[in-house]
Structure 1
Amino acid sequence: MTAGSVDRVHDGSVRDRIAHARSVVVKIGSSALTDLTEGLDRNRLDALADALEARMRAGSDVIVVSSGAIGAGIAPLGLKRRPTDLATKQAAASVGQLALAHAWGTSFARYGRTVGQVLLTADDISNRSHHANAQRTLDRLRSLGAVAVVNENDTVATNEIRFGDNDRLAALVAHLSGADALILLSDVDGLYDGDPRKVGVDGRRARLIPEVNGPEDLDGVIAGSGGALGTGGMASKLAAARLSADAGVPVLLAAASSAAQALADASVGTVFGARSERLSARRFWVRHAADARGRIVLDDGAVEAVSRRRRSLLAAGIVGVTGRFFEGDVVELVDRYDTVRARGVAAYGVDDVTSMVGRSTGDLPPDLQRPVVHADDLVVVSR
């Protein structure tokens, strides 16, 4: 999907939707909570908890996706900079997660609220049964009146099973929890068409983009990577916002220093309008959360049928198969140029699909005459 390829609502109503959302996921970046020399900044964390509490008292359910575990472990371990090797990252996270959870618990205790820590790995989202378990945990915490504080489980996550950054995690949690809005708070006050800290060669400073409703709103935008304490950056925030908007959840990107205003009336930062029809939990999982285990290459006719007419994939339209997948795994459906056109749940394993390549349904054994990917289990990625 490209941003804007779905119906979007106007900025005013987007801000209204976020301001009055019944259920909100709020992601808070590392730079808003920690620094390299002192670790956790309790004053900043308390100010954020105050803003979150005000939103909850106004009637919203709030889930917090909190970065900062590794950053919170740097100072206590005597490290001078954010570690780059996996073992030291995990060691810092093991110290920092404890401090971070305690800090959130202490801060919300001022209001008589209980905090529940939820640590997730990418496998918890990509695995369908784990996905459902995480959803039930978040739902139950909310029903019991506790504040769920979510973070990636950095102490056990490997490079192969990481979300990559907590912006993506927040977007996934927003859909997983059925949230009505996603608010991304960090050290930037919105999306700019360049680096707001610099003056361009033409003498012009970067311009704040107040709303994103289509690809034209992103023309000329240059998104950078993260800073010293985080793994995200504008590129990850933009990707997370587009993912969330595609799933039907509007997004506000704002500075953590403006958290009170962002949570009160959404009048600051940049908003991203959302798809008018929300993806079902299963279609979202297929499209965004599940890891693809293989690829099925389609001929031109099958590409047309699958991506434009949303028909089931039949064996006759297949020209190649790669990867190692089993029945029930998610696979990517690609054209002859290796462009992903759709994702879907395979009805057969790779060995059966390989034996079916290019064959008409009538020529196949009775147990192999179902569609290779049924239309109900298929999500178009690009047309």
Structure 2
Amino acid sequence: MTRSVVADAGRIVVKVGSALVTNDGRGLDHARLARWAEEIAALSRLGKEVVLVSSGAIAEGVKRLGWSKRPHALNELQAAAAVGQMGLVEAYERGFKAHGLQTAQVLLTHADLANRERYLNARTTLRTLLGFKVIPIINENDTVTTDEIKVGDNDTLGALVANLIEADVLVILTDQRGLYTADPRKHPDARFVDEAVAGDPSLEAMAGGAGTGIGTGGMLTKILAAKRAARSGAHTVIASGREDKVLERLAAGEAIGSQLLAKKEPLAARRQWLADHLQVRGSLVLDAGAVRALSVQGKSLLPIGVVEVRGEFRRGEVVGCIDSNGQDIARGLVNYGSEEARRILRKPSSEIAAILGYQDEPELIHRDNLALL
């Protein structure tokens, strides 16, 4: 790797982890937050548009509420997030103001990204803010999310935001140098990965679990985030936030950390939105012929290729398409609800009207409404 992809990027999503904005989980480290504001301001002066995804709200809330440790109960985590978000945004606002930059707080949930209208609204808002040279500071809206509907970690959120605004690069800053072939703390012979292709299955095998008890994301979440960001053509850089002026040096082209390149053509915006669904209403189990028709031939999904319908869903909702081994194949907008789908599975499309008494579409999912995974 001779040149960082950040150098030529016009639009960048920067994700900063908990370990880089807190005092070992004991509230915010204001000096570090000021540092990130300074570095992002330097990128802004270069003409780059930057969106910041920052952790730290819950840790700050725990400190402000006088708790000795991070709670486990959902309602207490939500309370900590609500209290801590005030301090996080206040600190960032102060830091960016010192460099003449305005900031905006944007709290997102999975529902904002799963609903087509809200997805487009969020996209428009972020693009408008960037057009006004405002730095959006994004976090998951932990105050209202539950385990069933949450994005789960800010690495994934960073990738979703990269797709949302069609960023050129996702920079994930962590307390590790980057990606190794194995955990270097346990395997001294582990080799550093300076460059690879995002989505390469071997990368997931290399990744271990979370390195600290402060945040929720380990190296695996970063690998998967890079894979997700690559769907919209965004490259990913995983680098140490302990490096001096890391963002400015990356912008200057210096090779720092692990660079995971997006090789595939970006998905069309509609398919990208479909692929970004972290939760789906149900799933359709496909036979081998249907899997081949979707993944190799690019065809629509017909009822005859479905062997099982799982879950409950309505017409127009997003469902998963899986093979007999449970492997994700695609996601798409279904033309029939689960009850109707069960009645017409394994049947040719010519029999839909006779079975249901009507026919909306000959396909269960049209190819234009399918996103391969």
**TM-score normalised to the size of structure 1?**
0.90
Quote how far apart the aligned CAs of 1:329 are.
0.9
Which AA in structure 1 matches 2:372?
A: V
Matched, 1:334 2:319: no
Maintained 8 Å contact 2:153/2:217:
yes
Report the equivalent of 2:258.
Answer: 270
Name 2:30's counterpart in structure 1.
Answer: 42
Displacement after TM superposition at 1:16 (Å): 4.3
Preserved CA contact (<8 Å) 1:30 1:229: yes
Q: In structure 2, do the counterparts of structure 1 residues 127 and 299 end up closer, same or farther at CA, with 3 Å as the change threshold? A: same
Aligned mate of 2:359, from 363, 367, 373:
367
Change (3 A) 1:250 1:41: same
> Which residue matches 1:156?
144
1:201-220 paired onto structure 2 within 5 Å: 204-213=188-197, 215=200, 218=203
Q: Equivalent residues in 2 for 1:281-300 (5 A)? A: 281-289=269-277, 291-300=279-288
Residues 346, 253 of structure 1: alpha-carbon distance in 2 compared, 3 angstrom cutoff: same
Identity, in percent, stands at: 39
Aligned counterpart in structure 2 of residue 131 of structure 1, from 114, 119, 122: 119
Please give the alpha-carbon distance, in whole angstroms, between the structure 1 residues aligned to 2:48 and 2:361: 49
Question: In structure 1, how many angstroms separate the alpha carbons of the residues matched to 2:205 and 2:328?
Answer: 25
> How far, CA to CA, are the matches of 2:64 and 2:361 in structure 1?
61
Alignment-derived partner of residue 305 in structure 1: 293
Equivalent pair of 2:38/2:99 in contact (CA under 8 Å):
no
Considering Cα pairs closer than 8 Å and 6+ residues apart, tell me whether 1 or 2 has the greater RCO: 1
Whether the 8 Å CA contact 1:249–1:275 is kept in 2: the answer is no
SS in 2 for 1:188: coil
Cα drift, residue 206 of structure 1:
2.9
Cα RMSD between the aligned structures?
A: 2.0
Q: Deviations over 1:119-173 (max 9, x none)?
A: 0111111121111111111111111221100001111111111111000000000
Alignment of 1:4-43 (within 5 A): 11-12=1-2, 15-36=3-24, 38-43=26-31
Q: Distance in 2 between matches of 1:255 and 1:325?
A: 43
Q: What is the CA-CA distance between 1:104 and the residue it aligns to?
A: 0.4
2:230 aligned with 1:245? yes
1:33-92 Cα distance to aligned partner (Å, 9 max, x none)? 112475211111111111111111011000000111011122222222222221221121
Q: Give 1:219 shift.
A: 8.2
Structure 1 pair 138/264, CA: closer, same or farther in 2 (3 Å)? same
**CA distance in 2 between partners of 1:147 and 1:350 (Å):** 43
Q: Which amino acid aligns with 2:195?
A: E
Superimposed CA distance per residue, residues 2-44 of structure 1 (whole angstroms, 9 cap, x where no aligned partner): xxxxxxxxx44xx443222000000011110112475211111
- CA gap of 1:291–1:83, structure 2 versus 1, over 3 A, is same
> Which residue identity is paired with 2:163?
H
User: Any conservation in 2 of the 1:36–1:75 contact (CA below 8 Å)?
Assistant: no
Other structure's SS at 2:326 match: coil
Q: Deviations over 1:192-216 (max 9, x none)?
A: 1223334x3xxx3432210112737
Scaled by the length of structure 2, the TM-score of the pair is 0.92
Distance change (3 Å), C-alpha of 1:280 and 1:290: farther
Is the Cα–Cα contact under 8 Å of residues 306 and 346 in structure 2 kept in the other structure? yes
Query: In structure 2, do the counterparts of structure 1 residues 263 and 153 end up closer, same or farther at CA, with 3 Å as the change threshold?
Result: farther
**Letter paired with 2:367:** A
What is the deviation of 1:220?
A: 5.8
Measured in 2, the distance between the counterparts of 1:19 and 1:66 equals 22
1:64 and 2:52 aligned: yes
State the alpha-carbon separation in 1 of the partners of residues 8 and 321 from structure 2.
Answer: 39
Question: Cα 1:191–1:377, aligned 2, differ >3 Å: closer, same or farther?
Answer: same
CA positional deviation for 1:326: 1.2
| Number of positions where the alignment pairs a residue of Structure 1 with one of Structure 2 | 365
TM superposition shift of 1:270: 0.3
Q: What SS class does the counterpart of residue 50 from structure 1 fall into?
A: helix
Cα distance in 2, alignment partners of residues 185 and 317 from structure 1 = 44
Between 1:59-68 and 1:349-358, the stretch displaced more is 349-358
Kindly provide the amino acid, as one letter, of the partner of residue 247 in structure 1. S
Cα distance change on mapping 1:266 and 1:181 into 2, 3 Å: farther
**What letter is aligned with 2:11?**
S
Contact 2:203 2:223 in 1 (8 A): no
Is 2:230 the counterpart of 1:230? no
The DSSP-based 3-state class of the residue aligned with 1:34 is coil
Deviation at 1:337, TM superposition (A): 3.3
Q: Distance in 2 between matches of 1:145 and 1:27?
A: 19
* Structure 2, gaps ≥5 residues long: none
| Aligned partner of residue 49 in structure 1, secondary structure | helix
